[in-house]
C-alpha cells in the first residue's frame, strides 16, 4: 500500500519510513506541504500538522477538495484534534505524537479497510438500498437517484452504519465505536461534524434525523 508521509522532522520521518517499510507498506516521504500537494496520489496520507511552508490543515483541506484519499493527521497536541477532524478539513483520523507504531498501523488499516475487503464475501458486500439512496459496500460507492455522491472513507462508513438497519436510532457512542474504532477517545462533536457534511452532500438534511438526547436515524427522503 502506497503511503505518503508528509513530515519535515527527519528523525520522525525516517522512523516512519522504516517502520512502514517493515510492515509491508510502500512509503514516500516529502518534507513540505507543496511537495505533498504535488505528489502522486497515494492510498493513504500521513500528514504532519506543523510543516515549514504551509499549515498541515491547509494541505489537508486542499487534498480533500480534490480527492477522497484517507488522511491521517499527525499532531503533537491533543487539543487540536477537534479542529483537525472538523467539518471543514475532512481528515479521517489522527494520531498524537509520540505514537506507537502499532497504533499507527491499526489506524491505517482502519481507514483503508474498504480497499482491502473487496474479496470478502460477507454481509459487508451487500448493497444497502434506502429509497433513492444506494450504498454499495463492495464498490464503496454511494448514489442518490443514480448520481454518484463523493464521500470520504469516514463519511461512507458513517452513512453505511446509519443505513444498516432501517429506522434504528444510533447513539453517538455506537457511532464512535463502529465507525471510528474502539480505541477512539475523541470528542463526540466529531460525529456531529461528519453528520453535517453528509447532510450537505446528500442535499437534504432530512436524510439524517437528529433524535434529541439519543443520536441519529437515517430516513428515506423522496427525490424531488
How near is the Cβ of 155 to Ca ion at its closest, in Å?
Answer: 27
Is 50 near Ca ion (CB under 5 A)?
yes
Residue 180 beta carbon to Ca ion: minimum distance, rounded to whole angstroms: 25
Choose, by CB under 5 A, the member of 8, 35, 43, 192 that binds Ca ion: 8
| Residue with smallest beta-carbon separation from Ca ion | 50
CA distance 33 to 17: 18
Of 71 and 175, nearer to Ca ion (C-beta) is 71
Among 5, 16, 46, 48, binds Ca ion (CB under 5 A): 48
- Are residues 44 and 3 in contact, defined by beta-carbon separation less than 8 angstroms? yes
DSSP H or E stretch at residue 22: helix 10-22
If you search the block for the grid coordinates 469516514, which residue do you land on?
A: 154
SS3 assignment for 109-178: HHHHHHHHCCCCCCHHHCEEEECCEEEECCCCEEEECCEEECCCHHHHHHHHHHHCCCCCCEEHHHHHHH
- Look up cell 458513517; give the residue: 158
Q: For residues 64 and 151, what is the distance between their CA atoms, to the nearest angstrom?
A: 10
In the bound state with Ca ion, the residue whose beta carbon lies nearer, of 73 and 198, is 73
Instruction: Pick the stretch among 6-14, 36-44, 78-86, 145-153 that binds Ca ion (CB under 5 A).
Output: 6-14
Place of cell 480505541: 183
Site membership for Ca ion, residue 187 (CB under 5 A): no
Regarding 136 and contact with Ca ion (CB under 5 A), the answer is no
Between CA 107 and CA 101 the distance in angstroms is: 10
**Identity of the residue, 75 or 190, whose beta carbon is nearer to Ca ion in the bound complex:** 75
Q: Which stretch binds Ca ion (CB under 5 A): 46-54, 141-149, 153-161, 208-216?
A: 46-54
- Using the rule CB under 5 A, give the single segment among 2-10, 25-33, 78-86, 130-138 that binds Ca ion: 2-10
Q: Cell match 490543515: residue? A: 57
Nearer to Ca ion, 54 or 132 (CB): 54
Contacting positions for Ca ion (CB under 5 A):
8, 48, 50
Amino acid at each position: 500500500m502506497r503511503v505518503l508521509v508528509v513530515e519535515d522532522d527527519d528523525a520522525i520521518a525516517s522512523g516512519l519510513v522504516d517502520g512502514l517499510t517493515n510492515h509491508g507498506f510502500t512509503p514516500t516521504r516529502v518534507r513540505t506541504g507543496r511537495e505533498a500537494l504535488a505528489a502522486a496520489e497515494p492510498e493513504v496520507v500521513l500528514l504532519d500538522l506543523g510543516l515549514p511552508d504551509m499549515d498541515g490543515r491547509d494541505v489537508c483541506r486542499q487534498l480533500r477538495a480534490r480527492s477522497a484519499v484517507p488522511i491521517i493527521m499527525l499532531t503533537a497536541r491533543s487539543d487540536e484534534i477537534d479542529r483537525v477532524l472538523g467539518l471543514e478539513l475532512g481528515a479521517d483520523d489522527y494520531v498524537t505524537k509520540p505514537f506507537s507504531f502499532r497504533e499507527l498501523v491499526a489506524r491505517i488499516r482502519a481507514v483503508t479497510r474498504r480497499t482491502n475487503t473487496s474479496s470478502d464475501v460477507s454481509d459487508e458486500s451487500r448493497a444497502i438500498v434506502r429509497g433513492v439512496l444506494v450504498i454499495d459496500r463492495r464498490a464503496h460507492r454511494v448514489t442518490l437517484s443514480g448520481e454518484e455522491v463523493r464521500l470520504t472513507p469516514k463519511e461512507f462508513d458513517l452513512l453505511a452504519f446509519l443505513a444498516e438497519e432501517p429506522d434504528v436510532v444510533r447513539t453517538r457512542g455506537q457511532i464512535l465505536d463502529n465507525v471510528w474504532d474502539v480505541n477512539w477517545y475523541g470528542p463526540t462533536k466529531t460525529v456531529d461534524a461528519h453528520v453535517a457534511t453528509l447532510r450537505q452532500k446528500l442535499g437534504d438534511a432530512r436524510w439524517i434525523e437528529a433524535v434529541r438526547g439519543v443520536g441519529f436515524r437515517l430516513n428515506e427522503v423522496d427525490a424531488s
